[in-house]
Amino acid sequence: MARRDELMTYAEQLKDPRWLAVRDRIIMRDMNMCRDCHSGDNLHVHHKRYLKGLYAWEYSERDLITLCVKCHRFVHGLNEDGKDMNDPFVRLPEFRGDLVRLVARMNKR
Ligand SMILES: [Zn+2]
Ligand SMILES: [Zn+2]
């Protein structure tokens, strides 16, 4: 039997209504603001950590944070002219180490 995380790609999960509902709830919790720079433009919900086998919407609210698209790209290690600009999730696994360090730094602010 296929493992659960092989049934749906991450990109597919992010289009799932169950994720969209969680995403809306987190943005509302964070008062429609980026938790890093307080911008209200282009908000994304970022997973502070990834656990094997969990769907995007199965995380605890503590693991989710609202970031604007700029801060989100930064957290994922993509710069302004990165070619994955429109999909900050695509290359995520390569940046996992940096991601954890950057988020740890961010949380200290
Ligand atoms: Zn921001
Ligand atoms: Zn993210």
Residue range 12-37, pLDDT digits in tens:
999 999 999 999 999 999 999 999 99
Q: pTM for the complete prediction?
A: 0.67
Ligand nearest to the CA of 64: 2
Ligand nearest to the CA of 87: 2
Q: How confident is the model at residue 79 (pLDDT cuts 50, 70, 90)?
A: low
Query: What pLDDT shows up at residue 11?
Result: 87
Instruction: Strands of the chain (E only): list them.
Output: 43-47, 64-68
Cα of 31 from ligand 1 centre, angstroms? 13
Q: How confident is the model at residue 77 (pLDDT cuts 50, 70, 90)?
A: confident
Q: 91-99 — which CB contacts under 8 Å span 24+ positions?
A: 92/10, 92/50, 96/50, 99/75
Cα of 40 from ligand 1 centre, angstroms? 8
